[in-house]
Structure formats: structure tokens, C-alpha cells
Amino acid sequence: MELEVEKFEQEFVRYFGTAGERVLAQCADKYVQLTAVSAADLAASIDHTLLNADATAAQVERLCAEAVQWSVATVCVNSVFAPLARDCLQNSAVGVCCVVGFPLGATATEAKAYETKWSVDHGADEIDMVISIGALKAGDLNSVVRDIQAVRAAMGTRTLKVILETALLTQREKVLGAWSCVLAGADFVKTSTGFASSGATVADVELLRNVVGTAAHIKAAGGIRTLDQALTFMEAGADRLGTSRTGTILAKR
């Protein structure tokens, strides 16, 4: 694994030059794994999620009420529900997270930037964007970085999470994609949309954590349904979890 990553480092520097070297230097500080996660830490690390195509306003209202009850980090919703979630959560500490270019990532960069700006103008505190998966698989890292940078520019200093969709990527693509996220200014590298063939895996969280070190946070999402899974992902290096099963997970703490 170390030899493979070393080979990827050389490729990344050849591609981005001194900017690539700076990213690798940022990622050199290794993350110290958590030894225990408290109930409060776990709740505050969850994005309580509803991204179904058939989600209704009433369901989003219920999602927000649950989020306040459980003191989670955010509710994660499609951008059309940003105003409703903002209004439901305005007197709480729970944030609003909206997805952008979701779930395929195959959206024009300008469209992603517009959706981002609209979302933050209507209440989003955080954005989870899908990376340009096709560009990443084609090795066009410049397009990957420009796509992320356009979203970053549209949202200012709010929290940006970039979804790699690891189920569709090789190990090389995961590594180069994670470093590209750091170069472009992402706050989090996120594993999955939950809409691909599989979601987060412990192996992918460990890989991403080892690759980015302390230069970015890690969000695991997709298929996290139980307390044991949630704790395992946190112990593997995830800082945030995306799940629609928040009640089931927290009920056992």
C-alpha cells in the first residue's frame, strides 16, 4: 500500500507541480485515531439525511424536528428544501446541509455553482457536492479541481464536503481524488452518495484518512444503519456520518 501511495504522490506532483507538493505537505500530518466516542460526540457528528426523490415537505419538517430533538450536526436535504429546513431550524443549533450535483456529479460546473449559490442564499450552511466522477476517472484532474473551486467560490467560507463516490473508483482514483479535494479547498472528503452500488466501507474511510491526514475531515455515508457501524466508522477516522437511520443509532446510546 505504501509503495502504491508513493507512486500516486509522484503522479500528483507531476500533474500539479508545486501546488501538488504543497498539498502533499499539508496531508503529511497523520490523524490520531479516536479511542472512544461519547453519545454527545456521536450525535454531533451526524448529518440526519433525507434525499429520496419522493420526499415531501411534511417529511422534511419531521426530519428537522428529529434533528433538534437529537442535537445532530445538520439535516441533509435536496436544495429545493433549503428554505423549509432553514425556517424549521432557525431557533436551533442544527445546521442545514444541501446536496449539489446530486447524485451523479455529471452536471455542468456552472450549474453546480448556481445551485450552490441558490442553496446558501436560501439557508444552507453546508454543501455536499458530488465530484465530477467522469473527469476523475478520465484522469482530468484539472477539471475535477476547477469544478470544486467553482462551488467553493459560490459558497464562501461555509463548510464544503466533496463526495467521491468510492464504489465507482479504483484505489488510484480515490487517492488522487482525495488530494484534488484538498487542493481545491474542500473541508471534507466524503465517501458516497448512498445512491451507487454500495456506500461507505471501513477500508475506504481508513484509506482516505491515511491519504489526507489532518488536511481535511472525512465523512462516511451510505448504508450506515446501526450503532456498531457508526462507532466503527468513527474509530476508523470519520469525523461526520451521513445517515437516515439516526434514531436507530442514537436510541442505543
* Catalytic positions, written as ranges: 128, 190, 219
Q: Is 182 helix (H, G, I), strand (E, B) or coil?
A: helix
Give yes or no for a contact between 238 and 219, defined as CB atoms under 8 angstroms apart: yes
Residues 6+ apart with CB under 8 A from 70: 43, 46, 48, 246, 247, 250
Could you give the CA distance from residue 3 to residue 220 in angstroms, rounded to a whole number? 26
| CB-based burial label for 11 (10 Å; 0-12, 13-18, 19+) | middle
Give yes or no for a contact between 146 and 109, defined as CB atoms under 8 angstroms apart: yes
Sign of CA dihedral 101, 122, 85, 217: positive
